[in-house]
C-alpha cells in the first residue's frame, strides 16, 4: 500500500479527526470527518462561510490529528491546505458523503474542498518508532 493510501485509510477508519488552523496568534481546533483520496491528493471538505475556511484563506498552515483506539496509533498531518475549485473533486467528495448533500452541492459557491500540500503525515504509538509519509 502506498503511504498516502495508508494515511487516507487510517482516517476512513477513525472517522473523526481534529483539524487545527491558525487565527492570528490563536490556534483553533474542531472536529472534522471528510477525507478523500482523489488523483493522488488528500482532500478535506468544508464551507467557505465557516471561520475555518477564512482562517485557511489567510494562512494555509494546518495540522490534523486522529487516534485509532483499537491499535493505539495516532496520526498527525502537518502542512498546508490549498483550495481547489475543480467541480469533479467536489462531486466525488459529495458522492463519498451523500449525507452532506442536504447542506452542500458542487455549484453552491459555499462547498469547498482543500488538499494537503507540502505535508508530513506521522504515525505514532507508545510501542513503535514513528513512521512518516510525505504528502
Ligand atoms: C464528527 C464531526 C465531523 C465533522 N466534520 C466536518 C467536516 O468534515 N467539514 C466541516 O466543515 N465541518 C465538519 N464538522 C462541523 C465542524 O466541526 C463545525 O462546523 C466547526 O464549528 C467548524 O469550525 P469553525 O467554527 O472554526 O469554522 C464536523 C463536526 C463533527 C461533530
Q: What distance in Å separates the CA atoms of residue 14 and residue 82, rounded to the nearest whole number?
A: 23
- Could you state, in chain order, the average pLDDT of each consecutive group of 10 residues for the chain (135 residues)? 91 98 98 98 98 98 98 98 98 98 97 98 97 97
Contacts of 112 (CB under 8 A, 6+ apart): 45, 46, 47, 48, 53, 83
* Apex 111 CA angle, 110 and 113, nearest 5: 130
Full residue range of the structural domain in which residue 82 is found:
2-134
Gap from CA of 32 to ligand 1 centroid (Å) = 5
> CATH number for the domain including 35?
2.30.110.10
Gap from CA of 21 to ligand 1 centroid (Å) = 13
Burial class (CB in 10 A: 0-12, 13-18, 19+), 80: middle
CA-nearest residue for atom 19, ligand 1, is 50
Gap from CA of 68 to ligand 1 centroid (Å) = 19
Residues within 6 Å of ligand 1 by CB: 16, 28, 30-34, 45-47, 50-52
Q: What is the CA radius of gyration of the chain?
A: 15
CA-nearest residue for atom 26, ligand 1, is 52
Strands 26-32, 36-38: pairing is unpaired
37 neighbors 8 (Cβ within 8 angstroms):
yes
pLDDT at site 83: 98
Which triple of cell numbers denotes residue 120? 508530513
DSSP code of residue 72: T
* Number of domains the chain contains: 1
Amino acid at each position: 500500500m502506498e503511504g498516502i493510501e495508508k494515511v487516507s485509510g487510517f482516517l476512513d477508519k477513525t472517522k473523526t479527526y481534529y483539524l487545527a488552523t491558525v487565527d492570528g496568534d490563536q490556534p483553533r481546533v474542531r472536529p472534522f470527518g471528510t477525507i478523500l483520496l482523489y488523483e493522488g491528493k488528500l482532500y478535506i471538505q468544508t464551507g467557505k462561510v465557516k471561520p475555518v475556511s477564512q482562517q485557511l484563506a489567510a494562512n494555509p498552515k494546518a495540522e490534523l490529528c486522529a487516534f485509532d483506539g483499537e491499535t493505539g496509533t495516532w496520526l498527525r498531518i502537518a502542512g498546508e491546505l490549498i483550495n481547489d475549485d475543480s467541480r469533479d473533486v467536489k462531486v466525488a467528495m459529495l458522492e463519498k458523503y451523500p449525507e452532506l448533500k442536504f447542506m452542500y452541492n458542487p455549484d453552491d459557491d459555499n462547498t469547498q474542498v482543500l488538499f494537503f500540500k507540502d505535508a508530513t503525515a506521522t504515525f505514532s504509538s507508545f510501542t513503535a518508532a514513528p513512521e512518516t509519509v510525505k504528502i
